[in-house]
Amino acid sequence: MIQFQCDYNEGAHPKVMQRLLETNMEQTVGYGEDLYCESARRRIQEACGNPDLQVHFLVGGTQTNTTVIAHLLRPHQGVVAAESGHISVHETGAIEHTGHKVLALPAHEGKITAAQVENLVLEHRADSSFEHTVQPGMVYISFPTEFGTLYSLTELEALSDVCQKYALPLFIDGARLGYGLASPACDVALSDIARLADVFYIGGTKVGALFGEAVVSKSHALMRDFRYSIKQHGGMLAKGRLLGLQFEALFTDNLYLDISRHAVNQALRIKKALQDLGVPFLMESPTNQQFPILPNDAVERLSKKFLFTPWQRVDESHTAIRICTSWGTTAENVDTLIAEMQNLAIS
């Protein structure tokens, strides 16, 4: 079976593996205070264009979201998010487990707007029983979203402005950050993310690392004592250097963006082939996730050779599926998929 069901099917990029291997028997101190972590921090600061950024390394995405959000909120506050946001639906209530409500907003293609956030704040303040409702305390968005869509620079700036206006920290979940930044449709640079987000993370797990996420913040005040929170949430890896080594490799010679571009290109090849066949899409995604709407029998026949994710029943006879590429997707596998689709004359 050829797998397109997610972007964590393979291990790590060979250059990442090589660094882990060649340093394997070196001795370092633990908990992220070694020289490899230090080096990775500097490279990330450089890539973001700001030497004053705080950088911390955690193991996985749910852990990172939980740790950051629990660190930033006061007990009576909630986090504003798209109702389709990862924290709203796919983390087994990890945010609520730390005591906070996810204030879910209706989303359009996975995105929320500055106007929605402002309305929520103003409605909360205007409510005569406001103290009986959860106070909006921060804003969470994903870039790219869970549907592969992207915020434009203008949209991000508007969100950042409204967050600043109402003193709401803006947190960007970048589990797939590379696949957004490397898209030809993206007008946002890493330095923009670093400038507009109060806290964000650079996803490694889905973009070339074995595992690992790099939390980045311009605000030393918000991140005060953050290492306590990392430890409390089980995210302080004993052999922290494993995270440093991986991010050092990913931020050497532009590897992170190069391998992201490869993934996006493969996804866009699939998209183009399906468009040529006249296949409609559930939504317009310019990144590594594509959501074509296929006849049910085509879905069934494809599923004999390929793993992908059934996403949503569209009507009696059609289903939207998710096809995911990654840094590890081979052109050959994509060729095979496209050929099979053409062969089936899907439309």
Q: Are 234 and 255 in contact (CB under 8 A)?
A: no
Window 161-200: residues binding its own copies (CB under 8 A): none
**Closest separation between CB of residue 345 and its own copies, Å?**
27
| Residue among 42, 50, 89, 222 that touches its own copies (CB under 8 A) | 89
Q: Which of 178, 201, 203, 198 is CA-nearest to residue 188?
A: 178
Asked if 100 is part of the footprint of its own copies (rule: CB under 8 A), the reply reads: yes
Asked if 90 is part of the footprint of its own copies (rule: CB under 8 A), the reply reads: yes
Window 102-121: residues binding its own copies (CB under 8 A): 102
C-alpha span between 185 and 57 (Å, rounded) = 29
Asked if 307 is part of the footprint of its own copies (rule: CB under 8 A), the reply reads: yes
C-alpha span between 269 and 34 (Å, rounded) = 41
| Residue among 235, 244, 286, 292 that touches its own copies (CB under 8 A) | 235
**Closest separation between CB of residue 279 and its own copies, Å?**
23
Residue type present at position 173: D
Residue type present at position 15: K
Compare residues 27 and 343 and give the one whose CB is closer to its own copies: 27
Asked if 206 is part of the footprint of its own copies (rule: CB under 8 A), the reply reads: yes
C-alpha span between 179 and 170 (Å, rounded) = 20
Cα–Cα distances in angstroms (integers) from residue 245 to residues 50, 141, 178, 251, in the given order: 21, 28, 18, 10
Both structure tokens of 179: 């696949």
Compare residues 97 and 272 and give the one whose CB is closer to its own copies: 97
| Burial of 126: CB neighbours in 10 Å, binned 0-12, 13-18, 19+ | exposed
**Closest separation between CB of residue 141 and its own copies, Å?**
20
Asked if 302 is part of the footprint of its own copies (rule: CB under 8 A), the reply reads: no
Cα–Cα distances in angstroms (integers) from residue 53 to residues 145, 218, 333, in the given order: 24, 5, 39
Window 210-229: residues binding its own copies (CB under 8 A): 210-211, 225, 227-229
Contact region with its own copies (CB under 8 A), list: 87-95, 149-157, 160-168, 285-293:
87-95
Contact region with its own copies (CB under 8 A), list: 21-29, 110-118, 248-256, 312-320:
21-29
Asked if 17 is part of the footprint of its own copies (rule: CB under 8 A), the reply reads: yes
**Closest separation between CB of residue 179 and its own copies, Å?**
15
DSSP secondary structure, 26-60, as one string: ----STT-SHHHHHHHHHHHHHHT-TT-EEEEES-
**Closest separation between CB of residue 235 and its own copies, Å?**
7
Asked if 289 is part of the footprint of its own copies (rule: CB under 8 A), the reply reads: no
Both structure tokens of 4: 């397109």
Contact region with its own copies (CB under 8 A), list: 115-123, 141-149, 203-211, 262-270:
203-211
| Residue among 36, 53, 62, 287 that touches its own copies (CB under 8 A) | 62
**Closest separation between CB of residue 182 and its own copies, Å?**
20
For residue 292, the tally of other CB atoms under 10 A from its CB is 26
Window 308-327: residues binding its own copies (CB under 8 A): 309
Size of the site for its own copies (CB under 8 A): 79
C-alpha span between 48 and 31 (Å, rounded) = 24
CA 52 from centroid of its chain's CA atoms: 23
